[in-house]
Amino acid sequence: MKRLIRSYPLMLVITMITAWAAPAAAQHSAMSGATTLRQDMRKLWTDHTVWTRDYIVAAVGDQPDATAAANRLMKNQDDIGAAIASYYGKPAGDKLTALLKEHITIAVDVIKSAKAGDKAAQQQASAKWTKNGEDIADFLAKANPNWPKATLVDMMKKYLSTTTDEVVARLTKNWDADVRAYDAVYSHILMMADALSDGIIKQFPAKFSGSTSR
């Protein structure tokens, strides 16, 4: 009986620690899941800007690695689509991939026409690029109510504008402007990646609550 009495305080401490640790572990799991999503999303969209820039540099400079850069850039669109598919299903992922690959194809036309000095063709390609950006925004907005279409359209327009600034600066050999343009693109894409992550976390709270595994 005395031994039982002596062990009671220890049992109480263990019970208290266990009761505290369980919700703390769940909170850590939820935070880790959200943090992982944000990191993954930032990595995907960072790759998008990095390989876009690599292609711009190669294409404008007539470098032999332009095709390799374009191929890697296209793979990035597959990767982004796969990430979206994990939440919205494969058809949705495939649709986004198709829209993003169209985005890249049009970007190639924008660069080619700008390099050739064909203003009419560049304007036509830019108009298609803008329309494609609106299509991407519309698709995402319909998938997630936390992604307002007007906000997404503005994000896409900003991204297209800053990427165009990169192309123009590269073509005119304005290297300081080129660096500023990429800094602007990169800052913007990180903000955009975080906005997409936040929308997913709000739409699927159970996946980040710690009560279920991802």
Per-residue pLDDT reduced to its tens digit, 88-121: 999 999 999 999 999 999 999 999 999 999 999 9
38 occurs within a structural domain: yes
Residue 68 resides in a domain: yes
The tens digit of pLDDT for each residue in 37-93 reads 999 999 999 999 999 999 999 999 999 999 999 999 999 999 999 999 999 999 999
In this structure, the dihedral spanned by the alpha carbons of residues 128, 197, 44 and 207, taken in order and rounded to 10 degrees, is: -130
Give pLDDT, residue 6: 56
Instruction: Please say whether the beta carbons of 73 and 52 come within 8 A.
Output: yes
Helices (H), ranges, 61-174: 66-88, 90-116, 119-143, 149-171
Closest CA to 98 of 74, 73, 122, 115: 74
pLDDT in tens, 183-199: 999 999 999 999 999 99
Any domain includes 66: yes
Model confidence at 32, in pLDDT bands (50, 70, 90)? Answer: confident
Q: How far, in Å, CA of 192 to CA of 137, rounded?
A: 12
- CA distance readout (Å), 153 to 83, 96, 135, 160: 21, 15, 9, 11
Taking residues 22-48, what's their average pLDDT? 78
The answer on pLDDT for 28 being more than 70 is no
- Residue 20: inside a domain: no
Q: What is each CA distance from 88 to 8, 144, 153, in whole angstroms?
A: 51, 9, 20
Asked whether residue 195 is assigned to any structural domain, the reply reads: yes
Answer yes or no: is 6 within a domain. no
Residue 148 has phi, psi (to 5 degrees) of -60, 135
Q: How many domains does the chain have?
A: 1
Q: Is 148 exposed, middle or buried (0-12, 13-18, 19+ CB in 10 A)?
A: middle
Q: Answer yes or no: is pLDDT of 30 > 70.
A: no
pLDDT exceeds 70 at position 7: no
| Stated length of the chain | 214
Domain enclosing residue 87, as ranges:
34-208
In whole angstroms, give the CA distance from residue 63 to residue 201: 42
**Does residue 175 sit within a domain?**
yes
**pLDDT level of residue 10 (50, 70, 90 thresholds):** very low
> Quick check: is 28 in a domain?
no
